[in-house]
Structure 1
Amino acid sequence: MSHDYLSATPLLDYQSAGIRALVEQRGWAGLPSMERIGAAYEFVRNEILFGYNTDDALPASKVLADGYGQCNTKGTLLMALLRALDIPCRFHGFTIDKGLQRGVVPELVYPLAPRNIIHSWVEVHHDGKWLDLEGFILDQEVLSALQAKFPERTSLCAYGAGTDCLQKPNVAWAGKSTYIQKTGINHDFGTFDNPDAFYAQHRQLLGLRGLAYRLFIRHWMNRRVAQIRTGRVPTIPGGESNLVPPVSVSQINEVV
């Protein structure tokens, strides 16, 4: 089977005016491939803030216009930018346990969240191998606030983070894989040429639950993320027991 890791798609709409203008204004196209990847990656990591859009399956141009996103939507934008810069990339789909979102999802509605939440990262082809890019999900201000709140913790699986090295996570682009939610993963769907192919098979946020999320819950979640960004990290009921991965590290390693 042949694969296409460079083409535009309805979601990876890198030929849209906003994305073309961004690439041109930043002068990214003239950089060496290592720096092209880094420029797109760091832009999505810190200039597109961590937050919750109306849906997972949004075009990259819409995510750029929103100025914020989560794993799936920020990933779509990153893929579009990489392909605009002639960098091959693909989509890797997973689910994460909803415990990773605890502290961001308000406790009043947390029981209504699905147990398994669609998650993804971007795989980029660089220097003859595929690398995993997931560390772009949390912007640095959110990550720094969590590091300051839990200075003695190495493992954290809550507030949008899932890592066993909270104080020094591999999130900056340095030619290697990056992660910030890996320890929450509980199912692997495999790789897809693009997010369009994945979302044609796997969707959430449908029906009344999806409507409630779009109209009300996500705005509540975004306010909580903004609160975290300023250093006011909400307390999670249950204490330390709700800050660790819901599955063992050995199980996680079997998945990824």
Structure 2
Amino acid sequence: MQKTDPQLKPTKLLDFHAEAVGCLIDDRGWRNLLEFDRIGAVYDFVRNEIAFGYNRADDIPASDVLSDGYGQCNTKGTLLMALLRGVGIRCRLHGFTIHKGLQRGVVPELVYPLAPQEILHSWVEIEYQGAWINLEGFILDDAFLTVLQKSFSDTDSLCGYGAGTDCLGAPPVAWNGEDTYIQKTGIVQDFGVYDTPDAFYLSHEQSFGWLRGALYRHIIRHWMNARVRGFRSGRLKTDRRATHAHAEPANAT
């Protein structure tokens, strides 16, 4: 019996055989596209049709992220990987932590001191034309990113509101066959690559603690999502303090 390629197979989290995920792939006709366009179509769907937002946990299946309709680096990454594997693109996860300053502004100031100093982070790597390409620029949807660009138009350096970049005016977030990034400058630790998010979350989990974890799941994340919607719609104004807390980037390749 031929063994399934470990970077193409479904898993508990990469459940591209789930009805909703499979129907999405079929309805969009992604499998019929050339490889470059196939990657781009899936990537653009996750980047812009799945809004930036905060799910109940990092280790939820792709089908749950799709059902939520929003996600952050880790959960949108799980959905991206599931869709990519569902259309025959080999991919893996690269795990990190980022400095909590990258979430300043989205996390309300009242509870910001409760946030862990380092937050679990990941991006997706795909095999394309014989090389591994880093995909991280899918995290912020264009509508939210545009608000940040207008709010911080006098600087290219931002660490806050879900962005960690030194080229805010023109960040490399669009799929063009090369690496994409939007949070890279906030990276603290590099955990290396994993074939699946399932394996990554077995080795690493966010260290909230029981009380902070419960507060996050039931109260804080809903507050954060309301703030994200407020920024995206123009109801809330950004805070300049978010530009100050930078971390040294890891030498990730």
Question: Do Structure 1 and Structure 2 share a fold, with TM-score over 0.5?
Answer: yes
Matched, 1:220 2:223: yes
Matched, 1:210 2:207: no
Offset from partner CA, 1:99-149 (integer Å, 9 cap, x none): 000000000100000000000000010011000000000000000000111
Counting aligned pairs with the same residue, the percent is: 58
Contact 2:189–2:250 (Cα < 8 Å) also in 1: no
Matches within 5 A, 1:140-179: 140-179=142-181
Structure 1 SS opposite 2:203: coil
CA spacing shift, 1:3–1:86, aligned 2, 3 Å: closer
Contact 2:7–2:91 (Cα < 8 Å) also in 1: yes
Distance 1:162 1:88 in 2: 27
Structure 2 SS opposite 1:152: coil
C-alpha displacement of 1:152: 1.3
How many residues align? The count is: 249
Distance 2:244 2:134 in 1: 23
| Counterpart AA for 2:16 | Y
Contact 1:149–1:233 (Cα < 8 Å) also in 2: no
Offset from partner CA, 1:157-204 (integer Å, 9 cap, x none): 100011111010010101111000001001100000000000001112
Distance 2:149 2:246 in 1: 20
| Counterpart AA for 2:13 | L
TM-score by length of 1: 0.94
Matches within 5 A, 1:112-191: 112-191=114-193
Distance 2:236 2:39 in 1: 32
Distance 1:134 1:232 in 2: 27
Equivalent position of 1:254 in the other structure: 251
Gaps of 5+ in 2: none
Contact 1:5–1:88 (Cα < 8 Å) also in 2: yes
Structure 2 SS opposite 1:123: strand
Name segments (4+ residues, structure 1) moved above 6 Å. Answer: none
Contact 2:187–2:250 (Cα < 8 Å) also in 1: no
CA spacing shift, 1:69–1:45, aligned 2, 3 Å: same
Matched, 1:27 2:29: yes
Distance 1:64 1:254 in 2: 32
C-alpha displacement of 1:233: 4.6
Distance 1:85 1:38 in 2: 12
| Counterpart AA for 1:243 | T
Structure 2 SS opposite 1:137: coil
Contact 1:185–1:255 (Cα < 8 Å) also in 2: no
Gaps of 5+ in 1: none
Equivalent position of 1:40 in the other structure: 42
Matches within 5 A, 1:37-76: 37-76=39-78
Distance 1:253 1:218 in 2: 27
Matched, 1:5 2:2: no
Offset from partner CA, 1:50-106 (integer Å, 9 cap, x none): 000000000000000000000000000000000000000000000000000000000
Distance 1:106 1:31 in 2: 43
Offset from partner CA, 1:3-46 (integer Å, 9 cap, x none): 71100000000000001100010000110111110011000000
Q: Which moved more, 1:20-29 or 1:196-205?
A: 196-205
Distance 2:215 2:61 in 1: 22
TM-score by length of 2: 0.95
1:231 to 226, 234, 238: 234
Distance 2:231 2:213 in 1: 24
C-alpha displacement of 1:230: 1.4
Distance 1:118 1:46 in 2: 22
